[in-house]
Structure 1
Amino acid sequence: MTAMLEMRDVSKSFAGVQALRDVNFTVEAGQIHALVGENGAGKSTLMKVLSGVYPAGSYEGSILFDGEERRFRDINDSEALGIIIIHQELALIPLMSIAENIFLSRAPSRFGVIDRDAVYRRTAELLTQVGLRESPDTLVTDLGVGKQQLVEIAKALSKQVRLLILDEPTASLNEADSAALLDRLLAFRAQGIASILISHKLNEVARVADRITVLRDGRTVDSLDCRIEQVDEDRIIRSMVNRDLAHRFPERKVAIGDPAMTVENWSVYHPLHTGRQVIKNVDFKVRRGEVVGIAGLMGAGRTEFAMSLFGRAWGYNISGRISLDGRDANLASVPAAIHAGLAYVTEDRKQLGLLLADDVRKNVTLASLRQVSDRGVIDDVVELKAASDYRNRMRIRCSDVYQEAGQLSGGNQQKVVLSKWLMTDPQVLLLDEPTRGIDVGAKYEIYCIINELAEAGKGVVVISSEMPELLGICDRICVMNDGAFVGEFAKDDATQEKIMRAIMRNVRMSGTSAHGGEARAGDGAQ
């Protein structure tokens, strides 16, 4: 097939840090080319070079598109050729309609006036192409994340896309929405549209990719033609992390002790829709040295449950009893929860877990300022030492602790969030989607940290949408649906089939939709 895109010997550095080193990357017309690698391997940087976010002159090497060398000054230049990038953080305006989002800057017009009939008609055509049945007038805020992804793709189609770049498109989607999105990519391939898929989910990559390229430390280290070679996940992982992960989940010496946290008859109502009970009289327990998983569909109430425990950070009219180490605990506020020995790692590290514009040092010590202060004044030397210690302990890859958190890869950002809460010396740690959007190497390191916490006698609760992850790291798995626990399995007895059977049996009983959305801080599932 003809090479639509060729990137030759591309190198890019930031303040002395080499992000890309002589990368070569080719995409054929009508091909799905997957780009994989650890966080920080250079995937997003390479795509920003391609799309003109990093303009010509800021990098070395050359870009050829349709056989001609291109020097993009900005993203408008690349879009003019049909190269469209969809970032992991969607660029949609929630309180505007689908039609307004798609044609925000280039609406069809007649005599200088927006032609609303043409906008509506064209939007309806685009929505049909991406498999959405919503009205063009629907507000984006009323759509789930999966449908918002499809709106972004519809926007790309409106720009006559020829090469579609998707950065972690399924990171926040449930299995059904992920499958629908991948099916759409296959349909586009049949229409001659090429795609570059950046993903950490190797099973999804293997399903749709025609070719897989692996980056490590800013270099191209492997390329696999899926049309003539069988996809070998172990080979890809070895190429990504430069080591053999024979065991995806590290082994741990299990020594389970007395209850670290006991929750009884816990009930929570929605903070906005105050008549709606979200968490329904839940009983829950985690013991010292135990890792307990919470499984469930999106919208089951897992995040709401965890946040309501953590100093009542979410919810209204909360009732029930919590005891820590057998003693009643009054966790009426987040500071009270931290003081009592509870910590919560949010699922949304960018919005709720980090101050992206602040450096690693300030983020690590943020929840433990008393430890680095003297009579209310922060001791810079003590703070620097504490942050540096956690940087080394957690193997955070950054130039130094003065680097902005927003400049770090997803895996390293997650380690900074974990460092912040480990510095508080919690006795119970609630981890909400702790490995979402990070690569297999960083996942393994976080699993090791979870094991270290359990071996130190902490109680660890892991909320995850990835059932293999729960099965691999947890001693016990609780199944949640519609705000209640509907099943529980010991590690040796748990299987994906049993967990899904418990979920689906109760979905049918309650009428809960499998496509609902998990609540974020302060909004809840709508």
Structure 2
Amino acid sequence: MTGARAPLLEVTGLAKAFGRNAVLRDVSLRVAPASIHALLGENGAGKSTLTRILLGMERADAGTVLLGGARYAPASAEGARRAGVVLVPQERTLCAHLTVADNVVLGIEPAARARLGLRDREKARAVARDAIALVSADPARAPLDAPVGELGVADQQLVEIARALAQGGLREGGRLAARLLVLDEPTSSLGHDDASRLFDRLRALRNAGLAVLLVTHFLSDVRAHADRYTVLRDGRTAGEGDPRETETAEIVREMLGRALEGGRERAASEAAPPDGGEVVLDARDISGVKRPARASLTLRRGEILGVAGLVGSGRTELLRVLAGLDPKRSGTVTLRAPRGVGLLSEDRGGEGLMLGRSIAENVWLSPRAPLFAAPRSLLAEATRWIEKLAIRAGGADQRAGELSGGNQQKVQIARLLREGFDVLLVDEPTRGIDVASKAQVLSLLRDLAAEGKAIVLVSSQLDELVTTCDRIAVLRRGTLEPPRPASSWTGASLLLEASL
């Protein structure tokens, strides 16, 4: 827990601009040693730029940073690691074909004979073993010789943390040399139980002397596990305090600069589409290569059908089978949708977008798009969607990778809407985006259903399913249970049903 100790990290008056775009204007931050400190803010508030400065990936234009009381301005990521500041990014960076041990020491392999470029395999295994022991109470969950690709998402997350700690250096006996661990949205791909296990390990690392800077949008995680929090808004520090002594509504107000408006209340008449509504997708007893084991569903035009389930239950695999991207082992899928099916991928960075390309190119990315189109047409069409979905961008020619997570998600949605698909399969649309962007995305999905789209919505945020969907079905251990009206569920009852 924090007290009146001198801060490990002290940021004062930090500023950073990219051309005329001032991203950080006046940021102050104090992180105590041996603490979990949450960094909050809407997408575009400046969190990513601040962490990139701390990790040596950018240089500040003004302000000071002290680490352990000494001036800190790393010129590179390697310089930050030598100072004991390490990162676990939101998107996985592991090599699936390599073993756990090889991933942990990747880039820091101990050399037996440096001149010959030979690796000391025994020492490498010892480093990997010590690092895994720091992050897992059960090292058998991540065997050193197991290919990382065979591990579950939660265990891959632990390997990522182990690698970061190894990069920061391990002292004799496997003790930590790293002083500050920056975690970017570590629970965005985890279910409730896996997230709880992760925080158990983070508390153990905190108790071992490590400071954790937790970048997250999950306010429930902040209130349950963080010692302190700091809010950024428009490149400035807008609030800070003890999350257990601060109401969630107050934290949201600090993030937005206003109270968050309540979601749209749906009238009873629109709680679900009529029973006689047109069926556009009918799946019967389908199974995938691994998941789902068995699933049947009927989707009608104008409805949002939610799918709840724990990580590993087969939610993404179900959507990929319905979209025809993955083969099915058995069952039938009948589609009555002239404009077809579109999938919004959970993995927007690896699969959903070309991050190195412009917004315009991403919006037009489709086999249905004209083979040749004038650049002016591409830009005009993309600009129309930027305005329609309120995408915060410098223009249609800006690279998608330069946008915040919420705005990247809107670019994915823009592409699907431009295609005019009848059926939308939407996988974790609010993953890793801020409170306001979540509200906008969910409101957009409801509007699309009202216009006649048929939507299957997968989300780990169970309360979002309850407030957004017409019916909800629980996918448990690969089997999809019959759907029930959303009004008959709560977030707690969904979690209980999925955990049985």
TM-score by length of 1: 0.85
Name the residue aligned to 1:336: none
Contact 1:35–1:197 (CA under 8 A) maintained in structure 2? yes
- Say yes or no: does 1:157 pair with 2:162: no
Aligned to 2:245: 230
Q: Give the CA deviation at 1:368.
A: 7.9
Q: What percent of counterpart residues are identical?
A: 35
Matched residue of 2:419: which SS? coil
Contact conserved, 2:288 with 2:321, CA < 8 A, in 1? Answer: no
* Change beyond 3 A, Cα 1:235–1:306: same
What is the alpha-carbon distance in structure 2 between the residues aligned to residue 379 and residue 318 of structure 1?
44
1:203 lines up with 2:217 in the alignment: no
Distance in 2, matches of 1:245 and 1:305, equals: 34
Q: For 1:355, what is the secondary structure of its paired residue?
A: coil
Alignment partners' CA distance in 2, 1:416 and 1:387: 9
Q: Are the structure 2 counterparts of residues 309 and 102 from structure 1 closer, same or farther at C-alpha, using a change threshold of 3 Å?
A: closer
Give the equivalent residue in structure 1 for 2:40: 36
The answer to whether the 8 Å contact 1:252/1:451 transfers is: no
Matched, 1:135 2:143: yes
Equivalent runs, 1:421-460 vs 2, <5 Å: 421-460=416-455
Question: Which stretch shows the higher mean deviation, 164-173 or 103-112?
Answer: 103-112
What is the CA distance between 1:95 and its match in structure 2?
2.0
Q: 1:246 deviation in Å? A: 4.5
Match of 1:486 among 481, 488, 494: 481
Change (3 A) 1:31 1:297: closer
Counterpart Cα distance in 1 of 2:364 and 2:93: 31
Aligned: 1:313 with 2:329: no
| Gap change, CA 1:83 and 1:318, over 3 Å in 2 | same
In structure 1, C-alpha distance between the alignment counterparts of 2:303 and 2:220, rounded to whole Å? 29
Q: Counterparts in 2 of 1:481-520, with a 5 A limit? A: 481-505=476-500
Name the CA distance, whole Å, in 2 between partners of 1:455 and 1:206: 35
Letter in 1 for 2:286: S
Alignment pair present for 1:59 and 2:71 = no
- The aligned amino acid for 2:264 is P
Say which is worse superposed, 410-419 or 290-299, in terms of deviation.
Answer: 290-299
Runs of 4+ in 1 over 4 A off after TM superposition: 109-113, 316-319
SS of 2:164's equivalent in the other structure is helix
The alpha-carbon distance between structure 1 residues 165 and 264, as it changes in their structure 2 partners (threshold 3 A), is closer
SS at match of 1:350: helix
Which residue identity lines up with residue 327 of structure 2 in the other structure? G
Q: 1:126 maps to what in 2?
A: 131
Q: Distance in 1 between matches of 2:487 and 2:248?
A: 25
**1:277 CA drift (Å):** 7.2
Shift of the 277–500 alpha-carbon distance from structure 1 to 2, 3 Å rule, reads closer
Map residues 124-273 of structure 1 onto 2, 5 A cutoff: 124-131=129-136, 132-133=139-140, 134-158=142-166, 159=169, 160-226=177-243, 230-247=245-262, 249-253=263-267, 254=270, 256-257=273-274, 258-270=277-289
- Aligned to 1:420, the other structure's residue is in SS state helix
Retained in 2: the 8 A contact 1:486–1:503?
no
RMSD: 2.2
Question: Secondary structure, in 3 states, of the residue corresponding to 1:468?
Answer: helix
- Is the alpha carbon distance of 1:390 and 1:106 closer, same or farther for their aligned partners in structure 2, counting shifts above 3 Å? closer
Secondary structure at the aligned position of 2:401 is classed as helix
Task: Determine if contact 1:487/1:502 at 8 Å carries over to the other structure.
Answer: no
Point out where structure 2 has 5 or more consecutive residues left out of the alignment. 170-176
Is the 2:291–2:314 Cα contact (8 Å) retained in structure 1?
no
| Letter of the 2:382 counterpart | A
Amino acid at match of 1:261: V
Please, which moves more after superposition, 201-210 or 144-153? 144-153
1:352 and 2:347 are equivalent in the alignment: no
For residue 118 of structure 1, report the CA deviation from its aligned partner.
2.7
- 1:168-224 superposed Cα distances (whole Å, 9 cap, x missing partner): 111111212211111111112212211100001111111121111001111111111
2:407 counterpart residue number: 412
Distance apart, 1:318 and its partner CA = 5.7
Q: Which residue does 2:390 correspond to in 1?
A: 395
Question: Cα–Cα, structure 1 residues 426 and 115, in superposed 2: closer, same or farther, change >3 Å?
Answer: closer
Secondary structure of the corresponding residue to residue 346 of structure 2: coil
Tell me which amino acid in the other structure corresponds to 1:123.
A
TM-score of the superposition, structure 2-length normalised? 0.89
Q: Residues of 1 paired with 2:452 and 2:13: CA distance?
A: 50
Q: Give the residue type in structure 1 aligned to 2:78.
A: N
Contact 1:367 1:421 in 2 (8 A): no
Q: Distance in 1 between matches of 2:112 and 2:319?
A: 53
Q: Deviations over 1:454-481 (max 9, x none)?
A: 2212222211122111111111101123
Is the CA contact (8 Å cut-off) linking 2:291 and 2:317 kept in structure 1?
A: no
Which residue of structure 1 lines up, in the alignment, with residue 174 of structure 2?
none
Equivalent position of 1:47 in the other structure: 51
- Indicate which of 106, 109, 130 corresponds to 1:107: 109
Q: Residue 188 of structure 2 aligns to a residue in which SS?
A: coil
- 1:363 matches 2:362: yes
Task: Determine the structure 2 residue equivalent to 1:116.
Answer: 121
**Residue matched to 2:71:** 69
Aligned partner letter, 2:35: Q
Per the alignment, do residues 434 and 4 of structure 1 end up closer, same or farther by CA in structure 2, a change over 3 Å counting? same
Answering whether residue 299 of structure 2 is matched by residue 286 of structure 1, we say yes
1-structure distance, mates of 2:291, 2:25? 54
